Amino acid sequence: MFLNLGGGSSNSAKDDTTPNPNPIVDLDALYGFPVPLFDLQENLIANKDAYTTKLSSVSDAANSTRTIIITFSVLAALFLILGIVSLVLHKLLGGKPERDALIEAHMEDNSVTQNS
């Protein structure tokens, strides 16, 4: 299967007065040249070792990104669980009595000022 560059037109069929639609003049010689897209008869077999050595930077970047995401997700889940456990323990143990008394006194002061 081939692709004709330039839509099948050639530069030699044009006269000199017609403007050239190609902005790169050096490619004019390739107008009408058939470029093979793929060969239906060819069988490609990938060598795993050659592939990983040539594209190791891509796989390393993917692995490092995945590692960072998993690490931060595990740390976020761990701190969320620790926060929930500490909140439950704080509520079960009653908190600080001085602070609770201050909050209740403040709430009573607000209700007295709103009622009067």
pLDDT, residue 20, reads 55
pLDDT, residue 63, reads 72
Q: Is the pTM of this model over 0.75?
A: no
Mean pLDDT of successive 10-residue stretches along the chain, which has 116 residues: 63 53 71 74 72 71 81 96 92 74 81 64
Cα–Cα distance, 104 to 108 (Å, whole number): 6
Phi then psi for residue 95, to 5 deg, are: 70, -160
